[in-house]
Amino acid sequence: MRSSEDTGETFQIIDDSQIEFSKNKFSTYMLEVPIEFRWRTSSPSEYKFWRIYTGLRLGYVVASSSKFEGEPREY
């Protein structure tokens, strides 16, 4: 067992050779809305211009699931 000094959380690192499984799957279903702002300095007579794009993405997890098939063990 190890613990993080920053958050005080305890966790364990498991050796991959000790784990036997046939399936380990994690799925999420999300709705995302991208918001982007674009600005450029073009004009009808001059085609040289600057482009500046910025934005963010808002998301909501609608559902999540996990599936593990293997031998349960205690570490």
Q: Pick 2 or 15 by higher pLDDT.
A: 15
Q: Pick 63 or 67 by higher pLDDT.
A: 63
Task: Tell me the per-residue pLDDT of 13-65, one tens digit each, with 9 for 90 and over.
Answer: 777 777 777 778 889 999 999 999 999 888 777 777 888 999 999 999 999 99
Q: Classify 8 in phi/psi space as left (phi over 0), alpha (psi -120 to 50) or beta.
A: left
Beta-carbon contacts of residue 31 (< 8 Å; ≥ 6 apart): 59, 60, 62
Q: Domain extents for the chain?
A: 17-70
